[in-house]
């Protein structure tokens, strides 16, 4: 993989991790539990998708 692309990906993952840590998601286990909950909770995935759609519309 191109070094620039890998560096950008690494930087993005660091930023995402920092945001998650700031709200108390500071272990892989907790992140996995949240992911599983969102995937398996009725309405969980659609709630996240709605949030993402609303967020992307606001940035336009």
CA distance 54 to 50: 6
Whole-structure pTM value: 0.65
CA distance 60 to 50: 16
Cβ-proximal residues to 25 (8 Å cutoff; 6+ apart), any chain: 31, 34
Residue 57 reports pLDDT greater than 80: no
pLDDT 10s digits, 9-49: 999 999 999 999 999 999 999 999 999 988 898 888 888 88
C-alpha separations of 35 from 4, 41, 48 in Å: 29, 10, 11
């Amino acid at each position: 993989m191109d070094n620039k692309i890998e560096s950008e990906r690494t930087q993005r993952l660091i930023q995402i991790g920092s945001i998650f840590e700031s709200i108390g998601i500071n272990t892989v286990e907790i992140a996995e539990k949240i992911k599983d909950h969102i995937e398996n909770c009725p309405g969980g995935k659609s709630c996240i998708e709605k949030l993402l759609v609303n967020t992307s519309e606001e940035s336009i």
